[in-house]
């Protein structure tokens, strides 16, 4: 065993070049010169190489250096690539410090438009029965009571449930309840006749005395958004508020008495209002699925699908419709004639009755349908196809 005189790396006795740097081996005893084609001149140079001329005598050294450098460069690039991919992969992984089971939107507006009697967050479904607020695991099991009273418009974000508590005179008060039920407080500084619309992240939107407000969920930073006189809030997202406005009052809009209703969107930051369309419609029935707008016509109360690109309209239901929810390719609607719950595909096919009793509130959560009968009683839960129906807290 000998050593390279350039880098002092160990080399085998029969090796001609250093594996570490590619230098020719000259150990003093001219081990490499035993080959008839390679000789040493005793001064560290290598002679007798199979070359065309003397000027190229050091080509094997250069070539081996080049080969080593090329291999080193390839290895370095490969290592950088692996590290880069690993870094990108690491940075794309979910942040384990962030609870991915926390809602951004407290509930969807279709649920809220239909009473908001159920909402989900993580593995739990939160729902309102006649005598209290409950939660139940999405996987099933027993319900856990969180608070006494009548509640609706349930929003769940992080550790709190935000909702409207209904009094004996049917007036509403906004309240805030811990998800474990251990704390219940009035929300919105105790303003009477305030109505919670929705909660998005750490901001709550509510109406009081005909004005739409926004505030932080810690009840700071109150902001007046818009006057809702003769208008109804249809939806609120991160950027816009969608409203329906009629020449009549909001009572006429709800009753479908208005001959024409204008749907507009209002930019939350700038307050700029943009008209979307005007038509005869019943305000409790509006939904969007891809390029189609679904709404209930104010005249015959049929559910209509309008292509927002072409303005082409078709009737989706034969039955008259009071309200509906779009869910997983189906429309779940309450029939205005008999009060029963039906479902129909988005194209109007496969219309099926799901209940025999009249219902008045409807929500979807955790892959299930929740509804409350008109005559009161417990909340009903069933699969989207109408099977496995159960009464909760019966």
Q: Which residue has the tokens 């009572």?
A: 251
pLDDT the model gives residue 26: 52
* Mean pLDDT to the nearest integer, 151-160: 96
pLDDT the model gives residue 17: 57
Where helices occur in 95-203 by DSSP H, the ranges are 109-113
* Mean pLDDT to the nearest integer, 370-381: 89
Q: pLDDT: is 222 or 3 the higher one?
A: 222
91: enclosing H helix or E strand: helix 59-92
pLDDT the model gives residue 24: 55
pLDDT the model gives residue 375: 84
pLDDT tens-digit map of 5-24: 555 556 666 665 565 445 45
In terms of Cα–Cα distance, which of 230, 255, 227 is closest to 241?
227
pLDDT tens-digit map of 62-108: 444 444 444 433 333 332 232 232 222 323 323 333 345 899 999 99
pLDDT tens-digit map of 245-298: 876 665 666 665 655 788 888 898 888 989 887 877 665 556 777 788 888 887
Residue 176 clears pLDDT 70, i.e. is over it: yes
pLDDT the model gives residue 39: 41
Contacts of 313 (CB under 8 A, 6+ apart): 304, 305, 306, 307
Tokens linked to 273: 């209002």
Predicted TM-score (pTM) of the model is 0.70
Work out the mean pLDDT of the chain and round it to a whole number. 77
* Mean pLDDT to the nearest integer, 362-387: 92
pLDDT the model gives residue 59: 45
Confidence of residue 367 (pLDDT cuts 50, 70, 90): very high
Q: pLDDT: is 381 or 168 the higher one?
A: 381
Where helices occur in 107-236 by DSSP H, the ranges are 109-113
Answer whether 164's CB lies under 8 Å from 172's CB.
yes
In terms of Cα–Cα distance, which of 230, 287, 226, 288 is closest to 258?
230
pLDDT tens-digit map of 103-124: 999 999 889 988 999 999 999 9
Answer whether 142's CB lies under 8 Å from 153's CB.
no
Confidence of residue 243 (pLDDT cuts 50, 70, 90): confident
pLDDT the model gives residue 338: 94
Confidence of residue 58 (pLDDT cuts 50, 70, 90): very low
For 124-128, the CB contacts below 8 A with 24+ separation are 124/179, 125/365, 125/366, 125/368, 126/154, 126/156, 126/161, 126/179, 126/365, 127/154, 127/363, 127/365, 127/370, 127/379, 127/392, 128/152, 128/154, 128/163, 128/379
Domain ranges of the chain: 2-92
Answer whether 161's CB lies under 8 Å from 126's CB.
yes
């Amino acid at each position: 065993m000998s050593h390279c005189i350039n880098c002092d790396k160990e080399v085998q006795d029969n090796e001609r070049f250093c594996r570490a740097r590619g230098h020719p081996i000259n150990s003093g005893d001219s081990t490499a010169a035993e080959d008839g084609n390679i000789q040493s001149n005793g001064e560290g140079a290598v002679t007798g190489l199979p070359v065309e001329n003397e000027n190229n005598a050091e080509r094997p050294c250069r070539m081996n250096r080049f080969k080593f450098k090329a291999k080193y460069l390839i290895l370095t690039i490969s290592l950088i690539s692996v590290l880069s991919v690993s870094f990108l992969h690491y940075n794309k992984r979910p942040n384990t410090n962030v609870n991915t089971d926390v809602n951004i939107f407290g509930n969807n507006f279709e649920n809220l438009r239909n009473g908001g009697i159920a909402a989900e967050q993580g593995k739990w479904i939160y729902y309102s029965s006649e005598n209290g607020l409950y939660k139940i695991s999405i996987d099933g099991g027993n319900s856990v009571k969180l608070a006494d009273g009548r509640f609706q418009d349930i929003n769940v974000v992080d550790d709190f449930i935000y909702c409207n508590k209904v009094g004996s005179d049917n007036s509403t008060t906004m309240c805030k309840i811990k998800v474990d039920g251990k704390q219940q407080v009035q929300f919105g500084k105790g303003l009477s006749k305030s109505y919670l619309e929705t909660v998005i992240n750490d901001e709550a939107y509510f109406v009081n005395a005909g004005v739409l407000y926004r505030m932080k969920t810690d009840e700071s930073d109150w902001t007046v958004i818009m006057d809702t006189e003769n208008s109804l809030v249809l939806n609120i997202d991160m950027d816009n508020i969608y409203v329906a406005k009629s020449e009549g009052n909001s009572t006429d809009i709800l009753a479908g008495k208005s001959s024409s209703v204008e749907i507009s969107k209002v930019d939350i930051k700038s307050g700029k209002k943009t008209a979307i369309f005007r038509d005869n419609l019943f305000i409790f029935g509006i939904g969007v699925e891809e390029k189609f707008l679904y709404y209930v016509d104010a005249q015959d109360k049929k559910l209509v699908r309008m292509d927002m690109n072409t303005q082409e309209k078709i009737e989706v239901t034969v039955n008259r419709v009071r309200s509906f929810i779009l869910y997983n390719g189906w429309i779940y609607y309450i029939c205005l004639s008999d009060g029963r719950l039906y479902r129909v595909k988005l194209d109007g096919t496969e219309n099926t009755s799901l209940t025999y009793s009249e219902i008045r509130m409807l929500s979807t959560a955790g892959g299930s349908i929740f509804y409350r009968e008109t005559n009161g009683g417990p909340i009903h839960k069933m699969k989207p196809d109408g099977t496995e129906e159960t009464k909760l807290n019966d």
